């Protein structure tokens, strides 16, 4: 597609950003949908964040993604924030409005959509989440937002799991989250759960590691969802499958956070067919890394 007088720009701000897969996804989507935009990464230094957001608006930039380390620190510079992103306290997608940008968290709507695409539901579900860091907290928030009935939140540092549980139980006005240490899964009633792995354990190049080793734990899972996508099959996923469960990596989340952002910026719907084709492109590219 040629760049002309009506081409609009979208971008990604973060630091570092050189390993991002987002340009691949967005530039593929705009080709498939015939949309006249370009997506490019912008390396932004911490002290320039406010200027970068204001400058992007002044330059009529259509939308921005935001990555590490700015997902929370960018919020004060936004005009508006979506309620779920506000509750999570982190945004990864900025959508242009008249006065500034509105922030969304498509990491979480994208995770939900990726799970839905696999037939995984959250409404009324009992879920086990591993971790209590920023990612796990966002996942717990998202699960409650989409009406999960109960969450067991397991973390190495129990005090952090307690904090997240206390905060979100208060926010959602019900005792929905039960915090536990990593070795306390014996306290979880024996039945089958969706288990979401939201720690950084098992990420390349430490692919032999997993957050819980004991195979008895994995008997609790009907499905395991790892937020990690590199390696393609994590140790967590192997253990889930070993115990008879179905497992997924985080590549679907990576895809759908971009699809959700693309749809918000361009006011279009990406079909399942185009999404799946983009997924294959992404999968092949990641294999080369
Ligand atoms: P993120 O924003 O990606 O969630 P984070 O906030 O630093 O990153 O959280 C990392 C998560 O991985 C935490 O749940 C952390 O457990 P602690 O709260 O006990 O630190 C977990 N984690 C990191 N290294 C770990 C390890 N070696 N064993 C078990 N859990 C670990």
pLDDT at 186: 97
Residue 100 DSSP one-character state:
S
Q: According to the model, what pLDDT value does residue 10 have? A: 98
Strand 93-96 relative to strand 101-104, pairing: antiparallel
* 70, 107, 133: residue to mutate for ligand 1 pocket, most atoms within 8 A of CB: 133
Which atom of ligand 1 is closest in space to residue 209's alpha carbon? Answer: 27
Looking at residue 146, the DSSP 8-state letter turns out to be: T
According to CATH, the topology of domain 8-104+252-288 is Rossmann fold (3.40.50)
Spell out which residues line ligand 1, taking CB within 6 angstroms: 131-136, 155-157, 160, 199-201, 211
Report CA 222 to chain centroid distance, whole Å. 21
In this prediction the pTM is 0.96
Q: What are 123-153's pLDDT values in tens digits? A: 999 999 999 999 999 999 999 999 999 999 9
The rounded distance, in Å, linking the Cα atoms of 196 and 133 is 13
Nearest-CA residue for ligand 1 atom 14 is: 131
Domain span(s) for CATH 3.40.50.720 in the chain: 109-249
Residue 198 Cα: closest atom of ligand 1: 4
Q: Nearest CA to 209 among 228, 196, 187?
A: 228
Contact 168, 140 (CB under 8 A): yes
> Are 261 and 107 in contact, with CB atoms under 8 Å apart?
no
Catalytic residue status for 71 = yes
Ranges of CATH 3.40.50.10860 domains, the chain: 8-104+252-288
Fold observed for domain 109-249: Rossmann fold (3.40.50)
């Amino acid at each position: 597609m040629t760049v002309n007088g009506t081409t609009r720009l979208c971008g990604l701000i973060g630091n570092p950003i050189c390993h991002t897969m987002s340009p691949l996804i967005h530039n593929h989507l705009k080709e498939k949908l015939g949309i006249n935009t370009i997506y490019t990464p912008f390396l932004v230094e911490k002290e320039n964040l406010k200027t970068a957001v204001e400058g992007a608006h002044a330059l009529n930039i259509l939308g921005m993604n935001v990555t590490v380390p700015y997902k929370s620190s960018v919020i004060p510079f936004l005009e508006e924030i979506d309620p779920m992103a506000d509750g999570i306290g982190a945004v990864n997608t900025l959508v242009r409005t008249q006065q500034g940008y509105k922030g969304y968290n498509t990491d979480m709507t994208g995770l939900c959509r990726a799970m839905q695409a696999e037939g995984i539901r959250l409404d009324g579900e009992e879920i086990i989440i591993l971790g209590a860091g920023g990612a796990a907290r966002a996942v717990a928030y998202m699960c409650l937002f989409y009406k999960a009935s109960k969450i067991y939140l397991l973390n190495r540092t129990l005090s952090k799991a307690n904090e997240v549980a206390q905060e979100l139980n208060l926010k959602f006005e019900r005792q929905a989250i039960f915090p536990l240490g990593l070795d306390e899964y014996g306290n979880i009633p024996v039945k089958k759960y969706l288990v979401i792995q939201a720690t950084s354990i098992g990420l390349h190049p430490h692919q032999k590691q997993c957050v819980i080793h004991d195979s008895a734990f994995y008997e609790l899972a009907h499905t395991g969802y790892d937020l990690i996508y590199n390696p393609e099959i994590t140790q967590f996923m192997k253990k889930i499958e070993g115990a008879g469960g179905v497992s997924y990596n985080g590549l679907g989340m990576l895809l759908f956070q971009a699809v959700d952002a693309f749809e918000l910026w361009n006011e279009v719907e990406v079909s399942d067919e185009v999404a799946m084709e983009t997924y294959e492109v992404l999968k092949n590219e990641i294999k080369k890394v």
